[in-house]
Amino acid sequence: MTAANSVKPLHIVLTKRYRFAASHRLHNPAFSEDENWRVYGKCNNPYGHGHNYTVEVSVSGPVDPGTGMVTHLGELDGFVEREVLEVFDHRNLNEEVPAFRGRVPTTENLCIEIYNRLRAFPSAHVERIRVEETGLNSFEYAGGA
């Protein structure tokens, strides 16, 4: 290790990917039927539809010299399981998740909701959340406006 390296602490971010499956319908009761269809297209189908979502949780912090870890993975897994997977997996987001009463469950809003649920993780700083709605669409949120 060079002297330059030793005085320059590195920024380490660990990311773990999780998966859940859920259904939703994009619909705003404040819009007319036509407007809903124009804005949301087939996502406005009255019976809803589903996705296999992938959630990337990125956390940062100092590396514990005893364990070599930013956070114990079991702790992160347990927290994500409780706060996200148990809440969303195999659920209808509109009907079964209180956060989406009165809020359209787009993946933008889902991403913000997941960030808000995970930001209190006690062992490391939650840097950002990335949600893939399909392999072709993804959304990221790191807090703030």
Partner 1 sequence: MVYLTRKIEFSASHLYHNPAFSAEENRRIFGKCNNPHGHGHNYVLEVTVAGEPDPATGMVLDLKELKDVLQREIIERMDHRFLNYEVPELAGQIPTCENIATAIWKLLEPRIMKGSLHRVRLYETPDLFVDCYGQSPNGRGAR
State which of positions 116-135 bind partner 1 (CB under 8 A): 128
Question: Taking the complex as a whole, how short is the minimal distance between the CB of residue 105 and partner 1, in angstroms?
Answer: 24
Smallest gap from residue 32 Cβ to partner 1 (A): 40
Q: Does 66 bind partner 1 (CB under 8 A)?
A: yes
Looking at residues 73 to 92 of the shown chain, list those that interact with partner 1 (rule: CB under 8 A): 73-74
Task: Kindly write out the interface string for residues 9-28 of this chain, putting x where it contacts partner 1 by CB under 8 A and - elsewhere.
Answer: xxxxxxxxxx----------
User: Six-digit token pair at 3?
Assistant: 């002297």
Q: Which is nearer to partner 1, 92 or 138 (CB)?
A: 138
DSSP string over 46-106? TT-EEEEEEEEEEEE-PPBTTTTBSS-HHHHHHHHIIIIIHHHTTEEHHHH-GGGTTS---
Question: What is the C-alpha separation between 35 and 22, in angstroms, rounded?
Answer: 25
